[in-house]
């Protein structure tokens, strides 16, 4: 494989150069990169060049990704060790900490002006709780989750009426806005052939869940999506902390401030597109007050 450095995107219907260069240019409003849609149609097994210069294969179609996630011939690369609080056991001890922190932040918001930027007032202070976390993915997911629910008010109303649905809302947020794009690579333990492409033993294969989530009409926030889909949730480093933080923080936010709404147009929300997980950098919000 040959290629240079930079970021791959698809503009004006042009065919991108192969191998694709990672990181990919994100789509609008934090949606999956448009190059994934191109690859699903034209190169379902696509060569990708990483910033390190290493080459990997990227699967992009839903069914291929679903099969790869359970294929014993594709072995996930184990991540480096993370802080103890990122393990499932460590995360369970974080719940009361998150509950107390969110409660204090919401008290301050409710007592302050009724037009506030949710990122510095709520999301940012929660990030400070874990300065040594493996990455910013839990807080990125929280920022994106808040945006997602603000632009899907019907889903919020449904969850407020039936709080048992909050875990489904969190699962759908993480499905649509999976931290990063490529995910953890998997190593082929034997030669494989898919769509006429031979993946050699020892080569790395990436299965971007965001591509599976974006397949055709699947890239929609759907509170009642069937969870049998193996791409609906994929374990990643810090996944337990992400689920816990997003679940506790969003339920507390929308329960404490019912009717919370975005104070600017959806497309006016500024996004940070430079990191591995795009996220909004400002979310001005307001809420109804008794009167």
Q: pLDDT at residue 145 above 90? A: yes
* Range in 134-138, 181-185, 260-264 the model is least confident about: 134-138
In a domain, 4, yes or no: no
How high is the pLDDT of residue 4?
A: 39
- pLDDT surpassing 80 at residue 155: yes
Q: Tell me, yes or no, whether 54 and 195 share the same domain.
A: yes
Higher pLDDT, 224 or 270: 270
Do 70 and 191 lie in one domain? The reply is yes
Asked if residue 114 belongs to a domain, the reply is: yes
Higher pLDDT, 238 or 185: 185
pLDDT digits (tens, 9 = 90+) for 74-119: 998 865 444 444 455 667 788 899 999 999 999 999 999 999 999 9
For residue 62, being part of any structural domain is answered with: yes
Name the residue range of residue 47's domain: 20-77+180-213
Query: For residue 19, is the peptide bond before it cis, meaning its omega torsion is within 30 degrees of 0?
Result: yes
Residue 3 lies in a domain: no
pLDDT band at 284 (very low <50, low <70, confident <90, very high): very high
Say whether pLDDT at 205 is over 80.
yes
Q: For residue 133, is it within any domain?
A: yes
What does pTM read for this prediction?
0.73
Residue 4, CA distances (Å) to 21, 52, 191 in order: 7, 11, 27
Q: Does residue 144 sit in the same domain as residue 240?
A: yes
Same domain, 264 and 138: yes
Residue whose pair of structure tokens reads 């930027």 in the numeric block: 117
Together in a domain, 153 and 265: yes
- Total domain count, the chain: 2
Same domain, yes or no: 71 and 99: no
In a domain, 136, yes or no: yes
The pLDDT of residue 257 is 96
Q: 239 and 197: one domain? A: no
Residue keyed to tokens 């060569």: 47
User: Would you state the pLDDT for residue 1?
Assistant: 39
CATH of the domain at 257: 1.10.630.10
Mean pLDDT of the chain: 82
Question: Do 92 and 160 lie in a common domain?
Answer: yes
pLDDT value of position 90:
63
Mean pLDDT of 182-203: 93
- Based on the fold, state whether residues 33 and 169 are members of the same structural domain: no
User: Which residues, other chains included, contact 137 with Cβ-Cβ below 8 Å and sequence gap of 6+?
Assistant: 179, 180, 236, 238, 242, 277
Residue 73 token pair: 């011939």
CA-to-CA distance for 250 and 268, rounded, in angstroms?
Answer: 22
Tokens of 252: 């507390």
Given pLDDT bands bounded at 50, 70 and 90, which one contains residue 255? very high
Q: Residue 134: its pLDDT value, please?
A: 44
Residue given tokens 């260069």 in the structure block: 21
Tell me the sheet residues that pair with 197. 194
Q: Is residue 12 part of a domain?
A: no
Residue 69 maps to a domain: yes
What's the pLDDT at 132?
A: 46
285 pLDDT band (50/70/90 cuts)?
A: very high
pLDDT bracket for residue 212 (50, 70, 90):
low
The answer on 282 and 263 residing in a single domain is: yes
Share of residues in the chain with pLDDT > 70 (%): 75
Q: Specify the pLDDT at position 196.
A: 96
Average pLDDT over residues 240-247: 87
**Are 57 and 63 spatial neighbours (Cβ–Cβ below 8 Å)?**
no
CATH number, residue 71: 3.30.43.20
Do 27 and 150 belong to one domain? no
Query: Which residues neighbour 110 within 8 Å (Cβ) at sequence distance 6 or greater?
Result: 256, 257
Same domain, 68 and 98: no
- Least confidently predicted of 207-221, 238-252, 262-276: 207-221
Query: Poorest-confidence range of 58-72, 109-123, 189-203, 214-228?
Result: 214-228
């Amino acid at each position: 494989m040959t290629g240079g450095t930079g970021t791959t995107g698809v503009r004006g219907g042009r065919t991108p150069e192969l191998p694709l260069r990672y990181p990919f240019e994100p789509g609008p409003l934090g949606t999956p990169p448009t190059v994934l849609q191109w690859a699903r149609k034209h190169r379902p097994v696509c060569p990708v060049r990483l910033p390190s210069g290493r080459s990997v294969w990227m699967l992009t179609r839903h069914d291929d990704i679903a099969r790869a996630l359970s294929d014993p011939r594709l072995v996930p690369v184990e991540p480096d060790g993370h802080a103890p609080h990122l393990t499932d056991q460590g995360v369970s001890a974080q719940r009361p900490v998150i509950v107390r922190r969110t409660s204090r932040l919401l008290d301050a918001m409710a007592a302050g002006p009724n037009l506030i930027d949710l990122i510095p007032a709520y999301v940012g202070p929660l990030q400070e709780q874990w300065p040594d976390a493996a990455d910013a993915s839990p807080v990125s997911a929280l920022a994106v989750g808040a945006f997602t629910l603000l632009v899907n008010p019907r889903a919020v109303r449904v969850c407020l009426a039936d709080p048992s649905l909050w875990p489904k809302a969190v699962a759908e947020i993480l499905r649509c806005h999976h931290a990063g794009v490529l995910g953890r690579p998997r190593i082929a333990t034997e030669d494989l052939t898919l769509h006429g492409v031979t993946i050699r033993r020892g080569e790395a294969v990436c299965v971007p869940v965001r591509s599976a989530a974006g397949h055709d009409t699947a890239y929609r926030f759907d509170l009642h999506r069937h969870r049998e889909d193996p791409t609906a949730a994929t374990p990643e480093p810090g996944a337990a902390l992400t689920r816990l933080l997003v679940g506790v923080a969003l339920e507390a936010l929308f329960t404490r401030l019912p009717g919370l709404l975005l104070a600017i147009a959806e497309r006016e929300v500024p996004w940070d597109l430079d990191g591995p997980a795009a996220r909004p950098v400002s979310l001005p919000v307001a809420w109804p007050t008794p009167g």
